[in-house]
């Protein structure tokens, strides 16, 4: 739930879903590299900061 300021946006009290992916490279049983990506555009669309594609109004 969006309960506090986030990237300059005041709290909306909306439940949000955050999606992303993390990829780990493991060598000899240890994590030696990590790549991560988060869907920030999808998050901002839920917070009504950006329009969804095809919905420009």
- We report the CATH number of the domain holding residue 15 as 3.10.450.50
User: How many domains, the chain?
Assistant: 1
Question: Is there a contact between 18 and 51 (Cβ–Cβ < 8 Å)?
Answer: no
- CA separation for the pair 35, 22 (Å, rounded): 6
Which residue segment(s) compose the domain that 49 sits in? 1-57
- pTM value is 0.60
Residue 38 has pLDDT above 90, yes or no: yes
Please tell me the total number of residues recorded for the chain in this structure: 57
Q: Is the pLDDT of residue 26 over 60?
A: yes
Quick one: average pLDDT of 39-50? 83
**CA 4 – CA 49 distance, rounded (Å):** 15
């Amino acid at each position: 739930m969006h309960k506090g300021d986030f990237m300059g946006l005041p709290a909306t009290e909306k439940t949000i879903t955050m999606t992303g992916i993390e990829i780990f490279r493991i060598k000899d049983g240890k994590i030696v590299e990590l790549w991560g990506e988060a869907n920030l555009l999808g998050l901002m669309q839920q917070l009504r900061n950006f329009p969804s594609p095809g919905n420009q109004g």
